[in-house]
Chain A
Amino acid sequence: MNNKMMAVLFASGNENKFNDLTIHRTTTSMPFGGRYRLIDFSLSSFVNSGVTRIGIITRNNYSSLMDHIRMGRDWDLNRKNSGIAVFPPFVLNTSKEVYKGKIEALYTILDFIEKAPEDYVIISNGNVAANIDYGKVLENHISSGADLTILCHEAQCVNSSKRVIVAKNEKGTVTDMYSVEVPSSDYKMVSLSIYVVAKEIIMKWIDQAYARGLVDFETDILFKLVPEGKLNAYEIMDYAAIIDDVKTYYAESMRLLDISIREQLFGGARKIFTKVKDSVPTMYGDKALVKNSLIADGCTINGIVENSILFRNVKVAEGAIIKNCIIMEDGVIMDGSQLSYVIADKKVSVKENRELKGFSTYPIVVVKNKTV
């Protein structure tokens, strides 16, 4: 059995950039791809790579996450040994407030890491959608002889969120690392903020950094290690996306309408698991006209749907027109409504003959439970 790696997943981050989509949830519990939450991609990648000891560090709004994960059974993580451990916001007696950065957060769970029998730790942000084979990553990490491996992919920096750019030589050794916060259309090697590192090494680093009052894992620890040549970069060639604001959420969702992207994310033996909801298959009525769309189970469709993603149990009445939209679970779009470039959160109702129009770079967000 492959139990060489354990994982620590950060559930929170950038919640303020999702407009109203993260009022009720953490980034990692964002619904994505018609029936998933972002965390499903991380958990499924771990499980499919034999990683079954997973600590999830939360900071705020974590009740929807807890509700989604329950005991981890839907990911085969309800184990006697290992499984999921959720760490609610942890306040150190010495700091008197919720953790400030990754260093402090990791320091609060050093005990969890130390007690685990695994030799390596995956440290991951929860805002990445990708189907990653960590077995291959670990092989690469060990053969590189580096202290830490950074997972990265070639991408544009489409928004103003902080991104870490990595430069590497042909051996994969990281030669430069810096952060940017300016959008640009150039393709760069972008860090996914997922790391693989030996347990003793990460424990030593965190212990020392915390003692010195350092906060930021990237700038205070990793950047300083670049000159020593101790960092390795592993490029994910398949689909990978960092989702950290409404713009990236919308754009990456729409990329799933491309079959080659779906094959990279869902294809093959490494399935993406999610909470099972026992929905019925989707029913298309006599007046349905659906083109280029992803449709989850449990929908009843009798209107026009184009270039859109419908989550589970969405109802589209006859005469409704939905184009370039994302309609989350239990949405009801009534007769004569016209929606384009709309992201409707869970349980949104759009009454008869309403018109909502956003723009591709600025989709309209309708808040959970609201009626238009």
Chain B
Amino acid sequence: MPGNKQCVAMLLAGGQGTRLGVLTKEVAKPAVPFGGKYRIIDFTLSNTINSDIDTIGVLTQYQPFELNQYIGNGQPWDFDRLEGGAFVLPPYQTAKSGEWYKGTANAIYQNINFLDRYSPQYVLILSGDHIYKMNYSKMLKEHISKGADCTIAVLNVPLEEASRFGIMNADKDGRITEFEEKPKKPKSTKASMGIYIFTWAKLKEYLIKDEEDKTSFNDFGKNIIPNMLNDGQKMYTYDFSGYWKDVGTISSLWEANMDLLKPESGLNLYDRSWIIYARNAAEPPHYAGPDSHLFNSVVSEGGEINGEIYNSVISTGVVIEKGAKIFDSVIMPNSIIRAGTEVRHSIIGWGAEILENCKIGEHQLSATAGEWKIAVVGPRTQVSKGTIVAAGEMVGK
């Protein structure tokens, strides 16, 4: 039997991410580009390795190819280990059965054999669609010192937003007394971040029990956690403070990118003690031409910038021609913005080409700043000359 890992991470990357529309038509949500040179999943992968957890299963059933290729042998995140490493785990057929992952808990259930291979004492459950930096080893330490069966990371959210989250009500020692999914009248502001540590033997027991219950949704939030709570298992919150954002919607994805431009947002990637790793594109430095103007923006390698860029995130290998203007937008890798085109409050998908004199994210002048919706151009979409894409519109294949 290989390995005897203290803690193995399981990353739930299965969601189709329909709310991201054209951006997740061909790739799973965690593989969507972020912040110029990253993919969303880079944050959880980097957090995991930086927390000294060197074995991770990435559970995916939707468009797994791109993720599989991106993660590869895990080398960019230092996951190329003799024992352990990164594994993409799509659903598979066995002699007796074979089915899609029915829910988050079922995804782990179907990989009990994978986990047992490493005989971990603890299992860390992660989501693949959050942008944050977190040291899971601190959470694990608390889990161990409290002798917990389950520890749930929570974030203090404003009371008015609390009804959007799963809220944990806990006593003064942090022991969870009640869990409410999206409560109308929240009793606390401790929102679950979808990050759990379980003592593996205990979780395995509940996963097997849950699988036998035909009425179950096989979901951590709906079934496993309430069931454990009902049985009086020792469940604690772990308080996280710092930047954290679920990027499951177009507006939150856009906002998280924009947060890179604001030091006060708390999203700081410049800290060399907690590096966010990514698969490298082998591109030369970007070139800022004689007519370029770059203002409060982030620009990645390989770009040829000859236009004007304001408050935007320009990803690897992007071409912005002379006379093009970009405002408050995210331009994903290898897109081309031709001369005379203006892009505002938009997300331009990877490999897209916006031909000359288009207006993307065109808003009515009467609209109040901050109320414009984000326009989206899908990956590898060509937008023909002079096209107007209205604010909030989504175009693409």
Give A residues with C-beta under 8 Å from B: 33-36, 73, 257, 259, 262, 265-266, 271-274, 276, 278, 280-286, 288-298, 300, 305, 309-311
B246-278 vs A, Cβ < 8 Å mask (1 yes, 0 no): 000000000000000100000001100001111
Give 9 CB contacts A-B under 8 Å. A73-B75, A271-B283, A278-B277, A280-B269, A281-B35, A281-B37, A284-B297, A290-B288, A305-B288
Q: Secondary structure at chain B's binding surface: helix, strand, loop or mixed? A: loop
Q: Are B298 and A286 in contact (CB under 8 A)?
A: no
Contact of B284 among A266, A281, A282, A293 (CB under 8 A): A266
Residues of A near B261 (CB, < 8 A) are 283
Q: Are B270 and A296 in contact (CB under 8 A)?
A: no
A292 touching B296 in the complex, CB below 8 Å, given contacts A276-B76, A278-B278: no
Q: Are B296 and A286 in contact (CB under 8 A)?
A: yes
Closest to A266 in B: B284
Question: What's the Cα separation between A222 and B165 when bound, in Å?
Answer: 77
Question: What's the Cα separation between A278 and B296 when bound, in Å?
Answer: 22
Q: Which of B117-125, B167-175, B299-307, B364-372 contacts A (4 or more CB under 8 A)?
A: B299-307
Shortest CB-to-CB span from B251 to chain A, Å, is 22
Closest to B312 in A: A284
Residues of A near B283 (CB, < 8 A) are 266, 271
Question: What's the Cα separation between A262 and B301 when bound, in Å?
Answer: 13
Shortest CB-to-CB span from B132 to chain A, Å, is 16
Number of B residues, CB within 8 Å of A: 37
Shortest CB-to-CB span from B290 to chain A, Å, is 5
A33 touching B295 in the complex, CB below 8 Å, given contacts A281-B35, A281-B36, A292-B290: no
Residues of B near A274 (CB, < 8 A) are 282
Closest to B306 in A: A259
Question: What's the Cα separation between A259 and B300 when bound, in Å?
Answer: 17
Question: What's the Cα separation between A296 and B288 when bound, in Å?
Answer: 11
Closest to A287 in B: B295
Residues of B near A282 (CB, < 8 A) are 286, 298-300
Q: Are B298 and A297 in contact (CB under 8 A)?
A: no
Q: Are B284 and A33 in contact (CB under 8 A)?
A: yes
A257 touching B287 in the complex, CB below 8 Å, given contacts A280-B269, A281-B37: yes
Residues of A near B282 (CB, < 8 A) are 271-274
Contact of A281 among B289, B293, B298 (CB under 8 A): B298
Contact of A293 among B280, B288, B309 (CB under 8 A): B288
Centre residue among A272, A284, A296 by max chain B CB count within 10 A:
A284
Q: Are A297 and B284 in contact (CB under 8 A)?
A: no
Q: Contacts A265-B284, A294-B285, A310-B285 given; 7 further ones with Cβ under 8 A?
A: A262-B284, A276-B76, A281-B36, A281-B314, A284-B294, A284-B309, A291-B290
Give B residues with C-beta under 8 Å from A: 35-37, 75-76, 261, 269-270, 275-278, 280, 282-290, 292-301, 304, 309, 313-315
Shortest CB-to-CB span from A246 to chain B, Å, is 21
Centre residue among A73, A280, A282, A297 by max chain B CB count within 10 A:
A280
Q: Are A292 and B35 in contact (CB under 8 A)?
A: no
Q: Are B285 and A259 in contact (CB under 8 A)?
A: no
Q: Are A35 and B277 in contact (CB under 8 A)?
A: no
Contact of B294 among A73, A278, A290, A294 (CB under 8 A): A290
Q: Are A294 and B284 in contact (CB under 8 A)?
A: yes
Closest to B289 in A: A292
Closest to B77 in A: A278
In the A-B complex, list the 3 residue pairs whose CB atoms are closest, starting with the nearest.
A34-B285, A281-B36, A281-B300
Residues of A near B315 (CB, < 8 A) are 281
Q: Are A285 and B296 in contact (CB under 8 A)?
A: yes
Question: What's the Cα separation between A282 and B286 when bound, in Å?
Answer: 9
Closest to A282 in B: B299
A278 touching B299 in the complex, CB below 8 Å, given contacts A291-B290, A294-B284, A295-B286: no
Residues of A near B270 (CB, < 8 A) are 280, 298, 300
Question: What's the Cα separation between A107 and B298 when bound, in Å?
Answer: 52
Shortest CB-to-CB span from A40 to chain B, Å, is 10
Closest to B268 in A: A280
A276 touching B280 in the complex, CB below 8 Å, given contacts A34-B285, A282-B298, A295-B288: yes
Question: What's the Cα separation between A283 and B262 when bound, in Å?
Answer: 10
Q: Are B290 and A281 in contact (CB under 8 A)?
A: no
Q: Are B295 and A262 in contact (CB under 8 A)?
A: no
Centre residue among B261, B285, B289, B304 by max chain A CB count within 10 A:
B285
Question: What's the Cα separation between A73 and B73 when bound, in Å?
Answer: 13
Closest to B298 in A: A281
Question: What's the Cα separation between A296 and B287 when bound, in Å?
Answer: 9
Question: What's the Cα separation between A273 and B283 when bound, in Å?
Answer: 8
Q: Are A291 and B286 in contact (CB under 8 A)?
A: no
Contact of B37 among A35, A283, A297, A300 (CB under 8 A): A297
Contact of A278 among B275, B284, B313 (CB under 8 A): B275
Shortest CB-to-CB span from B113 to chain A, Å, is 30
Residues of A near B276 (CB, < 8 A) are 278, 280
Closest to A73 in B: B75
Residues of B near A34 (CB, < 8 A) are 284-285
Question: What's the Cα separation between A286 and B262 when bound, in Å?
Answer: 11
Closest to A284 in B: B294
Shortest CB-to-CB span from B83 to chain A, Å, is 19
Residues of B near A286 (CB, < 8 A) are 295-296
Shortest CB-to-CB span from B127 to chain A, Å, is 23
Q: Are B298 and A296 in contact (CB under 8 A)?
A: no
Residues of B near A73 (CB, < 8 A) are 75
Q: Are A290 and B292 in contact (CB under 8 A)?
A: yes
Question: What's the Cα separation between A296 and B301 when bound, in Å?
Answer: 6
Residues of A near B76 (CB, < 8 A) are 276
Q: Are B289 and A291 in contact (CB under 8 A)?
A: yes
Shortest CB-to-CB span from A306 to chain B, Å, is 9
Shortest CB-to-CB span from A133 to chain B, Å, is 17
Question: What's the Cα separation between A33 and B36 when bound, in Å?
Answer: 21
Q: Are A272 and B295 in contact (CB under 8 A)?
A: no
Question: What's the Cα separation between A271 and B282 when bound, in Å?
Answer: 6
Residues of A near B285 (CB, < 8 A) are 33-35, 294-297, 309-311
Closest to A294 in B: B285
A284 touching B299 in the complex, CB below 8 Å, given contacts A33-B285, A262-B287: yes
Residues of B near A278 (CB, < 8 A) are 275-278, 280
Residues of A near B314 (CB, < 8 A) are 281
Shortest CB-to-CB span from B271 to chain A, Å, is 9
Closest to B309 in A: A284
Residues of A near B299 (CB, < 8 A) are 281-282, 284, 295
Closest to B313 in A: A281
Q: Are B294 and A35 in contact (CB under 8 A)?
A: no
Contact of B288 among A35, A271, A291 (CB under 8 A): A291
Question: What's the Cα separation between A73 and B298 when bound, in Å?
Answer: 29
Contact of A297 among B289, B294, B300, B304 (CB under 8 A): B300
Residues of B near A285 (CB, < 8 A) are 296
Residues of A near B37 (CB, < 8 A) are 280-281, 297
